[in-house]
Structure 1
Amino acid sequence: MATWYSKASLIAAAIFLVISLLSSATFANGGRSGRRLVRSYDEPCKKMTLYFHDILYDYSNSTTNSTSAAAAKPTALATAVSPNGTFFGEVVVFDDPMTEGTRALPPPSLRETAAARAQGVYLYDSKEVYDAWFAFSVVFNSTGRRGTLNLMGADLMSEKTRDISVVGGTGDFFMSRGVATLRTDAVEGLVYFRLQMDIKLYECYI
């Protein structure tokens, strides 16, 4: 009798554990079940092109239109190494609108018409040249796409194109992996730049 009771208890505990794991997986998957992983290293399972608009606040431009601001100044080493300075050590926090299929300068209604927002930081990490390092999330909140894509990597600005990694995502982009190719599309002085970002995902849950 005791042996039967022990076995029954073990079976019940095992069932409870399986149910708990399944519930946790569903919760982590945004409350959805039944998704399947699509993985291909030849052709992307999802791709899109977005334009990343950054308007750096420099104390003279509009605080309403500005979308980024320096949170840490360049180091003394930047000036010591290069007469012109390289902004080495400067950290910029940004909340930039992202648009689809447009190269126009941002209109007044850009905040309302943006397809997504890029939120995160970039920092200048080279003593000799104007190279930066990005870590940010693309936040989607529209009828077409919801969720986030998380990206990080080196922006080697002297290169015509450069790749950064898509390291994960949520919502419609749950656990996505891939590459985003950056291309400088426009620059105006030191306060405005626009990047074209071609995103190709090679791991998708659908």
Structure 2
Amino acid sequence: MDQLIELFNSGKFLEATIQTLTYVLFAMGVGGILGLILGIFLTVTRKGGILENNPTYWILNFLVNFFRPIPFVLLIFALQPLARAVIGTGIGDPMMLFALTFAASFGIARLVEQNLLTVSPGVIEAARAMGAGPLRTILTVLIPEGLGPVVLGYTFAFIAVVDMTAMAGIIGGGGLGNFAMQYGYRQFNPWVTWSAVLIIILIVQLVQVIGNWIARKLLRR
């Protein structure tokens, strides 16, 4: 318990919490936008879609199916050569942000696609019958109608990314996962471990509540 108090007073606990939030917010910001774009393209280019294009859909679908199932710890190592070419390093926080964003992009793409497919085809057909072009249909019908489920999908993705941040320590990154491993598990101090776990649970619960609230508002409009 004394060590936990010392870590709190030294600011290391707060630093680890900020690192975790930085990882997650960056990955959800950049990866969320890329995943949204990929998910929309997957939806509209599939067979029967607004912009049906089998070659495009096949390529995007293959990429998502290829990268999404890879366990994150293996993906980190697999992406190191690419990260060195793109950001100049394969370790530390920059590498962790790169890997998280990469994983989030493909994971969110599939979530967006699955949720946009819940939009009734009749609504889309009605918009097209009224003269709306493909882009207008996507922006004013498809996305708004599927926004509630998409928000729930992003909430799920946020929680998944929080889980991935626990792997930061293996490449020299920080965050609560590495904090719990370094000062809790390796030093046989369950107080530190469970304090980090509780902070993560609080973050996840807060995001889940906010996500559910926003989704309910969108679904009732």
Query: Fold match, TM over 0.5?
Result: no
Which is richer in helix? 2
Ranked by relative contact order (alpha carbons within 8 Å, sequence separation 6 or more), the top structure is 2
Rg bigger for which structure? 1
TM-score of the two chains, using structure 2 as the length reference: 0.26
TM-score of the two chains, using structure 1 as the length reference: 0.27
Which is richer in strand? 1
